[in-house]
Amino acid sequence: MSSVSTYLYQIISPILMIFGTAGSIINIIVFSQKNLRKNPCSIYFIAYNIVNFMYIYFSLLPQTMSSGYNIDYTTSSIVICRLYFYAIFVLNALSSYYLVLASIDRTLITSSNALTRQRSTCRLAYICIGIGTLFWILFHIHALIFTNIVQAGPNVKVCAPQRGTHNTFTTYYNIIEEIIVISLMLIFGISYIKNIRNLGRIQVHTVSVSATRANQIHGSNSFSRKDRQWILMLLMETTIYAVCVGPFAFYLIYLQITLNEIKSTESLQLQNMIYNILIFTSAIPFCTGCYTNLIVSKTFRAEVKKIFSWIKIFNTR
């Protein structure tokens, strides 16, 4: 059974890392373009992809080396062990936090209320990113203190939270965090989709109004094609996140419920295999954003073409 997760990390994970690295870099370059970075959602996406890039090498790479190639350098030093867990906590929290911020921004910008729409600004985006990043960096300092290299079996050492209170806290924190994040994404996703439908009704209603009045209403409630593409990109990101990360949260709940049950060796092996597979699937959202953006956004595709055309021109000189 363990061979399934081993092959997954030996073969699929390196491929995912390559695509994820390239995708994150392309996303950062595209969203940093002058015509896009004026949009607050672009700022959130830049921050999101920077964190995703870091997650690939601070979390997915060590997990790949450990589960796929039996090379666990996190157990070589207590400093490396604690930094590893700290990075996982911080980067995972920041990634989902930026997605939630982007969802809130899209809810604001799709509102039929002009004052609400005006709250969607680049200044607010920078403030929220700065304050939130500082908060999560400080909040997860516990991982630098209560993480140790523990003996998991004969000649087997693992980097893990301290057994007891901190281990219990870590488990429940992961469960609660993912449930809250997915719930917020769902709530704000429904909100901005509902707002878009309401804007559509308002624009249809202007047909029966005088031309001058219609233009005024349209100007205050119009929703551009680019804005719709931002919505589609965000919707894809949040959907993939929920689908890939949600099962891991539910599995942690199952592990807590069955914590005191006596399990056979086969059951423990199966449990460990499922855990490793779900850890892998929870890393997928960090690597796929660029490719879903290419599918749903014409503007994104155009910007990518420009970038590659510049590279081609530069190489021919």
CA distances from 254 to 1, 116, 180, 231, 303 (A): 20, 41, 18, 34, 44
Predicted local distance difference test score (pLDDT) of residue 316? 67
- Name the region of 296 (left: φ>0; alpha: ψ -120 to 50; beta: rest): alpha
- Positions in the chain short of pLDDT 70: 1-2, 200-223, 312, 314-317
Superfamily of domain 2-316: Rhodopsin 7-helix transmembrane proteins (1.20.1070.10)
- CA-CA distance, 158 to 151, in Å (whole number)? 7
Where are the domains positioned within the chain? 2-316
CB 163 within 8 A of CB 148: no
The pLDDT tens digits for 63-108 are: 999 999 999 999 999 999 999 999 999 999 999 999 999 999 999 9
Predicted local distance difference test score (pLDDT) of residue 264? 83
Start-end of H helices in the chain: 2-7, 13-31, 40-55, 61-69, 78-109, 114-117, 122-139, 165-205, 211-221, 225-257, 265-281, 289-296, 298-316
Tokens of 189: 């996703």
- CA-CA distance, 106 to 185, in Å (whole number)? 11
Predicted TM-score (pTM) of this structure = 0.89
Predicted local distance difference test score (pLDDT) of residue 5? 86
Tokens of 36: 């896009």
151 strand-pairing partners: 157
